Amino acid sequence: MQLSSLLRRVRSGALGGSLIVMGGFMLSRATGVLRDVIVSYYFGTSAEAAAYRAALAIVDLLYLVIIGGALGSSFIPVFIEVWARDGQAQAWRVASAVVTWALLLLSLASAVLFVAAPGLVQLLYGGQGFDQTTLALTTALARLFLLSPLLLGLGGLAMAALNARDRFALPALAPSVYNLGIIVGAVLGPALGIGIWGMAWGVIVGALLYLLVQVPGLFTIGMHLRLTLGRGVAEVGRVARQMGPRVLGQAAAHVSVVVTLALAARLDHGDAKVAGLGYAYQLMLLPYGIFSLSLSQVAFPRLARLVAEGRHDELAADVRRTLATILWLTLPATAALLTLGIPAARILFERGAFDSVSLTYTVSALGGYALALPAFAASEILIRGFYAMQRTWTPVLVGLFQVTLNLGLGFTLLRAGNDVGALAFAFSVANNLESLLLFVFLGVALPGIWHERGLWRTSGAAAAAAVALGVCLIALNIASRGLVPALDAAHPYVWTHDLPALVVWLLLAGSAGAVGYVGLSALLGAAPARAALRRLRRGG
């Protein structure tokens, strides 16, 4: 009885953590969409918007590589292990040393990037699509944004420490607070006559809030930090050694995005196409963040504990279950993005400075990004499975292959005369192959992990139901154009007139599609769908 009670509490805690993090990601994506709605209204696909996205993509590399993923995924297993083995005081000594080294590295990297910014911007974005004025603005914005990795870095380590102790609420709230800082800046910039610089300073204020909102949670888990290099603390060396390959892996994932933007900058009207790619990418990240990042982030500390305790059968089952759920959630999202891209982009973006040309660039890229979504989402839990087992080089090498393929295929498609949509398609092909390779190699690392029938039954049911959903949405779209002309991209859209009917249609179509998808996938044997229906029958 004691064992079963313990298992129920563990499952309940895992579910509660998942729901908190998923709620946080939903709020984060909602505020992210609101941010993009406001940005599109004031800046559209202008040169200013392109410079902002290009500069932020460069600087984000520092945060995402050193803190956002590499250090966090290296730090969490060690922090958990030391806390359990040596106690809280020693765990905070390790954390203090990691924070100190992270700040030193970020400060040094920021200084180097500040000096190198003009040449780096020219190398990445210098082409017919970015004129000298846009390049100069990109450089100036990138230099300002270098303040944010230091703040986000500390916030990222706070998030890692809180997640390691199964405290998910404040870390889940932090990204939304960051978005709110940018939103306020985007609104105040035009009002104060400083344009894009208002939003740029909003990034810095948002990064500060991202850190501050998590500080109370650190005190609840007994935070005791001091600046120290950690001499004699062996775990600092372990974190550093494990971090090495993960830096390359995180860099590969983000460089893939930067490569796509850099290639777009070399096209005619490249500044507008860079901005359009950004809006399309953010639309794809909406379901990715809610469904994949939330589930994977909660799963990672649990996977690390299962590895530490040698419970590899449970590890394999946990990865399978999370992967099946992610695919069940993201496959219909792909169908929706492919078929409802025009009405969704019109509702969210087409007003103010975002015109019909901006819509064309955004929707062209959205199709390619949508095809990447299931694989992009699946890779998140597959990579974390490798990281939990501390087998870091496999995802790194696969990630480097993905970047190389994305760059080569994108360049080839552009040389053949293709446009911005081909760049998103190259991104999709590269990410699908990356996910497939990770799937195969994880099967080698954990023999038998993919032999369980439930994963294949759920994946097959989800794929079939998603195809049916897509066909139905296409048919409904075509049949409804007489009643809702704005569904047709050729319709001269006036948002003050066309928006209400478009919103009502999208809500009705989306609701009917969701109900139909859940029902059909459950009928075909998808375990998450059947579990969801059982909860509904029990009243939640």
> Is 356 inside a domain boundary?
no
Q: Which residue has the tokens 């390959």?
A: 245
> What residues make up the domain containing 57?
1-243
pLDDT at 72: 58
pLDDT at 65: 60
Q: What is the pLDDT of residue 225?
A: 73
Domains identified in the chain, total number: 1
Q: Residue 9: its pLDDT value, please?
A: 40
Structural domain contains residue 345: no
**Residue 332 forms part of a structural domain:** no
CA–CA dist 422, 16 (Å, integer) = 41
Question: What is the percent of the chain with per-residue pLDDT over 90, rounded to a whole number?
Answer: 43
CA distances from 15 to 20, 299, 303 (A): 9, 10, 14
Verdict on whether the full-model pTM lies above 0.75:
yes
- Please measure the distance between the N-terminal and C-terminal CA atoms of the chain and give it in whole angstroms: 26
**Residue 216 in domain:** yes
List pLDDT tens digits, range 227-256: 888 777 777 777 777 676 666 766 766 777
Judge whether 276 lies within some domain: no
The pLDDT of residue 338: 94
401 assigned to some structural domain? no
Q: Write down the pLDDT at residue 12.
A: 42
Residue 94 belongs to a domain: yes
For residue range 447-492, what is the model confidence (pLDDT) as tens digits?
A: 989 988 889 999 999 999 999 999 999 999 999 999 999 999 889 9
Residue 331: which of 292, 385, 300 has the closest Cα?
292
Q: Kindly give the parts of the chain with pLDDT less than 50.
A: 1-13
Residue 11: predicted pLDDT: 40
Burial group, residue 155, by CB count within 10 angstroms (0-12, 13-18, 19+)? buried
In a domain, 504, yes or no: no
